[in-house]
Structure 1
Amino acid sequence: MSAPHLPKVAGIDPTVPPPAHTATPLPGIPAAAPQPGTPLQDRLAGWVSDLTTLHELIGRLARTSTLDGALRELLDAGASLVGARRGMAVIEPADGHGPTATVGLGLAHADLGTIETVPRSATSYGRLLDGLPGGPLPDPRPPSVDSLPLTGSAVDGRAGSHAAAHTADGHGADEAAGAPTGAPGPVAVPDLLGDEHLDPRHREVAARLGFAASYAVPLSTPEAGRLGAVVWLYDEPAEPDGRHRHLVSLYGQYASEHLARLLELERGRSQIAALTEELLPTRLPRVPGARLAARHTAGGSGGGDWYDALPLPEGALGLAVGSVSGTGPGAVAAMGRLRASLRAYAVMEGEDPVAVLSDLELLLRLTEPARTATALFAYAEPARRRIVLAGAGHVPPLVLGERRTEYVETSLSAPLGMLACWEAPSVDLDVEPGETVLLYTDGLLRRMGGSVDRAFTRLHAAASSVPKADRDDPEAVVDHVLRLVLGGPDDAGDGGEDGAGGGGGHEGGRVARDADEDVVILAARFD
């Protein structure tokens, strides 16, 4: 009966015995012949190890959701692949539509600025950003008579010291990266301080910051073209070998695709944010007896939070905040239509906030039956310091003054679009001289995270802690409140014992801490 075969592990045959010795044999004694297949197994084991490393690094990169986070992960992973300690990544799309960004690894902001003082064409990453081919960096000195007949990197004596990176089998790095000949490819400068052909400013900055070599690779995709470049810096003269160049080339290809997707998302977010700002008031009205301040922070997904303030007949003032369900361009467009409609209703019947919201609910139900919205409208008479307000599923306003900081008790009501006929009683509010009324959207509470009660408590504590010197300025009040409630979990001084943090979902009366939520806050101070 034949003996059972032992299992294979990671591509290595366990039946092949290990070498009889690892030390050099004595003179005169012939060395034992290597076992057949051992070099191939070693290569297979190396390939498996490389694939495992790439899989792990790519997985970490895929989990990044922001451009800045992806660049930092790219720098860190690439540094481990090429054996460097510091680096710099620059995003500069070739189409010129932005966004642009510069991120450093192990480099302070001042260090990045110092590197950028080097002439762009004299740096490896600058040549890649400008679309110049990889290879020897240009000699800043004028050519001598003896060097004029010598053309091409094949006869340039400098080509061996700072030529484009080559793979282990002798092929150019452009070929390893899948780029056509002549296209921008990796650029290795193995000895920055000792290469007299480099730009003097380049060597001066390298000596000042303490790096002696660099290795730069382009970031590009066939569809998007050039996105940017990344360069890693060595503390001593060095350059990665062919194997590690090949690994960082493969990793760079995936990183470029991932960055291209994030770049498109970032552009979309910027466009939505710009559209949202255009739909909101460009400036707040000036009404005798009241001073206004507003802040709006657009979320990453483009929400439908909005605010408005408009002068009404007989010295009155209309104040409104609201939020439309959904995200993206559709929600932003719905927000613009809803805000424009509310302005029209406020001019016609602003003294009756219930009628304004009732008309708004009917319009929403007829024109956009699939959407819901929350809204709060306040009719203020600054001369009498009197406010009549009504809310549709909206969070209550907060009154801040020398003698009180309290929420306004409003009647419970469903959001607009959720009932066949919406109507809720209005609330009368008398404010004292010097008091400020804060209107806001629930996005502010969601940004805080934790339970709903805790979020309300933190907002109350932040409003209560406004310094007396700042209470006369609504701008200072708004900035103080936002700085505290959107900071760390304990910045507002809330010493609650529920221990609610920034995680948590919607269950159990909790809201999720979500940076994608819009934040709107509108403050009105009455003299």
Structure 2
Amino acid sequence: MADAGLIQDDERLRRLEAVTDAALSRLDAADLFDELLDRVRDLLGVDTAAILLLDPHAQQLVATAAKGLEEEVRRGFRVSVGRGFAGRIALTRRPVVIEEVTPDAVVNPVLLAMGLTSLLGVPIFARGELIGVLHVGTLRHRQFTADDVRLLELVADRASLAHFARANNLAQTAALALQRSLLPNQLPEVPGLAMAARYVPGHVAGVGGDWYDVFSLPSGWLGLVIGDVSGHGLQSAVVMGRVRSALRAYALVCGDPAEALALLDRKVSHFEAGSLTTALYVMVSPDRGKIRISSAGHLRPVLAVPGRPGALVPVHVDPPLGTGRRPPARRQTEMDLPPGAVLACFTDGLVERRDEVIDVGVQQLVDAVRPDPPEEVCRTVMAALGVEQPTDDIALLVVRRQPTHG
């Protein structure tokens, strides 16, 4: 009997190692689902294994991966929470065993067509929330044991990790696509001005909330915007897109950048609660000789005029957008933009370093900005501030009024 106990313990250990193998962590989400289902079929001696993930909006389970039940996935089978075998597991959030499959017990026609006799299913949780169901089945009568249930629950835990990896990959892809659609592929050609820009992601996901925008207005004025939405990833990219679109709309009805930012603040505070945003809005006059600037918590731009050293523009820095508090009236600053002058707008990732006060980086930027062609200014600034491996996103927008000749 002692030998039988040792054999049983060895078998349990083999089963445990098979589903906690470190090699599994190196697989991508889709491959991990497939590998887990292959292993669980082998370990439990079952004929089918399937994962159904929860669609929270529809409150339905969707067939996502299967072994022996591939038709279920090909058909895109869905079952509502509470209906049938998988639906009952999702509703009760507990393992369910069916020793004799009947049409009353299951609603999936693929399970019946397969001739499955016995089924075992367990819920899949992530951070305490139900995200799906994992079930296995046999073509012969089977009495599933408590050990079988525990093993399947362990596999479900691994499946939840795969789900998160899959979800993160999808979110990152979506965020990248969204961000690329919002950042200008090419800056517009504007009479009397030359422009250049840089965007460098400072996060492993490659997606942040920094953005810049350039647009012409019916009045002949030109709008320049640079901003920073707190956070990273898809949610920040979505908020960035909403803020960008809203500011464009307000710019059409406001000839004052401070007024446009005041309207944007109300929108962000109400509809994007919890998303702290800074923005700098610059309007350039039709003759390109004047600029109006308003800052919502954003760093002041640098102005370099021929014959004078570069300097920060003396613009009032009002509170960021989305604080939820009613700020005092936002202010604008109007000033000349002489021929040959360069205006450099930027986000804090360009000048902020963890080991030094931000003033050091700002001064380095001021020293680097010269009244030169914008593309040359961008190259000089990026080299001077050493941003090959930034720790935060960087956006830089440089505009120069074309010099007069003769």
TM-score between both structures, scaled by the size of structure 2: 0.54
The alpha carbon displacement at 1:353 in A equals 0.6
Task: Please tell me the residue identity of whatever aligns with 1:519.
Answer: I
Give the structure 2 partner of residue 277 of structure 1.
Answer: 180
Q: Partner of 2:197: helix, strand, or coil? A: strand
Correspondence for 2:300 among 381, 384, 396: 396
Whether 2:213 is the aligned partner of 1:308: answer: yes
Whether 2:386 is the aligned partner of 1:486: answer: yes
The alpha carbon displacement at 1:315 in A equals 2.6
Give the direction of change, closer, same or farther, for the CA distance of 1:287–1:342 in structure 2 (3 Å limit): same
Deviations 1:71-127, CA, capped at 9 Å, x for gaps: xxxxxxxxxxxxxxxxxxxx998989xxxxxxxxxxxxxxxxxxxxxxxxxxxxxxx
Task: Please tell me the residue identity of whatever aligns with 1:524.
Answer: V
Give the direction of change, closer, same or farther, for the CA distance of 1:448–1:480 in structure 2 (3 Å limit): farther
Correspondence for 2:351 among 445, 466, 474: 445
The alpha carbon displacement at 1:412 in A equals 3.1
Query: Is the CA contact (8 Å cut-off) linking 2:259 and 2:330 kept in structure 1?
Result: no
Query: Is the CA contact (8 Å cut-off) linking 2:293 and 2:332 kept in structure 1?
Result: yes
**Aligned 1:135-146 pairs, distance under 5 A:** none
Give the direction of change, closer, same or farther, for the CA distance of 1:94–1:384 in structure 2 (3 Å limit): closer
Deviations 1:385-414, CA, capped at 9 Å, x for gaps: 100110011100101232221110111321
The alpha carbon displacement at 1:372 in A equals 1.5
Task: Please tell me the residue identity of whatever aligns with 2:378.
Answer: V
Task: Please tell me the residue identity of whatever aligns with 2:266.
Answer: L
List gaps (5 residues or longer) in structure 2. 1-21, 32-160
Whether 2:192 is the aligned partner of 1:289: answer: yes
Whether 2:368 is the aligned partner of 1:524: answer: no
Whether 2:337 is the aligned partner of 1:431: answer: yes
Aligned residues: 246
Deviations 1:46-81, CA, capped at 9 Å, x for gaps: xxxxxxxxxxxx9xxxxxxxxxxxxxxxxxxxxxxx
Identity over aligned pairs, percent: 33
Q: Partner of 1:433: helix, strand, or coil? A: coil
Give the direction of change, closer, same or farther, for the CA distance of 1:341–1:456 in structure 2 (3 Å limit): same
Give the direction of change, closer, same or farther, for the CA distance of 1:92–1:436 in structure 2 (3 Å limit): farther
The alpha carbon displacement at 1:450 in A equals 1.8
Give the structure 2 partner of residue 116 of structure 1.
Answer: none
Correspondence for 2:317 among 412, 434, 439: 412
| Alpha-carbon distance in structure 2 between the residues aligned to 1:308 and 1:487 | 22
Query: Is the CA contact (8 Å cut-off) linking 1:289 and 1:382 kept in structure 2?
Result: no
**Aligned 1:350-361 pairs, distance under 5 A:** 351-361=255-265
Query: Is the CA contact (8 Å cut-off) linking 2:350 and 2:387 kept in structure 1?
Result: no
The alpha carbon displacement at 1:371 in A equals 1.6
Correspondence for 1:340 among 216, 230, 245: 245
Query: Is the CA contact (8 Å cut-off) linking 2:171 and 2:234 kept in structure 1?
Result: no
Give the structure 2 partner of residue 229 of structure 1.
Answer: none
Give the structure 2 partner of residue 476 of structure 1.
Answer: 376
Deviations 1:213-244, CA, capped at 9 Å, x for gaps: xxxxxxxxxxxxxxxxxxxxxxxxxxxxxxxx
Task: Please tell me the residue identity of whatever aligns with 2:195.
Answer: L
The alpha carbon displacement at 1:279 in A equals 1.8
| Alpha-carbon distance in structure 2 between the residues aligned to 1:267 and 1:483 | 34
The alpha carbon displacement at 1:336 in A equals 0.3
Give the structure 1 partner of residue 271 of structure 2.
Answer: 367
Task: Please tell me the residue identity of whatever aligns with 1:272.
Answer: A
Give the direction of change, closer, same or farther, for the CA distance of 1:278–1:454 in structure 2 (3 Å limit): same
Deviations 1:306-346, CA, capped at 9 Å, x for gaps: 11100112431100111112222111100000000001111
| Alpha-carbon distance in structure 1 between the residues aligned to 2:27 and 2:340 | 50
Give the structure 2 partner of residue 184 of structure 1.
Answer: none
List gaps (5 residues or longer) in structure 1. 1-57, 59-90, 97-257, 465-470, 489-513
Greater strand fraction, Structure 1 or Structure 2: 2
The alpha carbon displacement at 1:477 in A equals 1.1
Give the direction of change, closer, same or farther, for the CA distance of 1:267–1:380 in structure 2 (3 Å limit): same
| Alpha-carbon distance in structure 1 between the residues aligned to 2:229 and 2:319 | 14
| Alpha-carbon distance in structure 1 between the residues aligned to 2:282 and 2:358 | 24
Task: Please tell me the residue identity of whatever aligns with 2:397.
Answer: L
Query: Is the CA contact (8 Å cut-off) linking 1:288 and 1:315 kept in structure 2?
Result: no
Give the structure 2 partner of residue 165 of structure 1.
Answer: none
Give the structure 1 partner of residue 282 of structure 2.
Answer: 378
The alpha carbon displacement at 1:298 in A equals 2.0
TM-score between both structures, scaled by the size of structure 1: 0.42
| Alpha-carbon distance in structure 1 between the residues aligned to 2:29 and 2:239 | 34
Task: Please tell me the residue identity of whatever aligns with 2:227.
Answer: G
| Alpha-carbon distance in structure 2 between the residues aligned to 1:472 and 1:453 | 24
The alpha carbon displacement at 1:424 in A equals 2.2
The alpha carbon displacement at 1:267 in A equals 7.9
Give the direction of change, closer, same or farther, for the CA distance of 1:417–1:95 in structure 2 (3 Å limit): closer
Aligned-pair Cα RMSD in Å? 3.2
Whether 2:248 is the aligned partner of 1:318: answer: no
| Alpha-carbon distance in structure 2 between the residues aligned to 1:263 and 1:364 | 31
Deviations 1:242-286, CA, capped at 9 Å, x for gaps: xxxxxxxxxxxxxxxx9xx99997886565334311122232222
